[in-house]
Amino acid sequence: MSFLDNLRQQADQLRQTQHLSHADRQARHAEVEKACLAVFRYWVDLSKQLNTLLPVPRGRYLIDTKLAIQGQPMRNFRADVRKKGLSVDQDLTDHVALYATVGEGQSVHLKRDFLPEMEKLEARLNQAGIRYQPERILQPETGKLLEVRYEFVADVIAGIKLKPLHDEARLQFQVNNLEGLARWTVEFEASQVSTTVLDELSKWVVGQPNDFVRRGKLLEMKEV
Residues 196 and 211 in one domain: yes
pLDDT number for residue 18:
62
Residues 185 and 80 in one domain: yes
Residues 206 and 187 in one domain: yes
pLDDT tens-digit readout, 162-221: 999 998 999 999 999 999 999 999 999 999 999 999 999 999 999 999 999 999 999 999
88 has a pLDDT exceeding 60: no
Residues 172 and 217 in one domain: yes
Residues 31 and 95 in one domain: yes
Instruction: Give 137's strand partners.
Output: 147
Q: Average the pLDDT over 27-36 and give the result.
A: 94
Residues 98 and 197 in one domain: yes
pLDDT tens-digit readout, 96-151: 999 999 999 999 999 999 999 999 999 999 999 999 999 999 999 898 999 999 99
Is residue 65 assigned to a domain?
no
Range of the domain at 11: 3-60+72-105+156-223
Q: Are 26 and 167 in contact (CB under 8 A)?
A: no
Residues 174 and 95 in one domain: yes
Residues 47 and 84 in one domain: yes
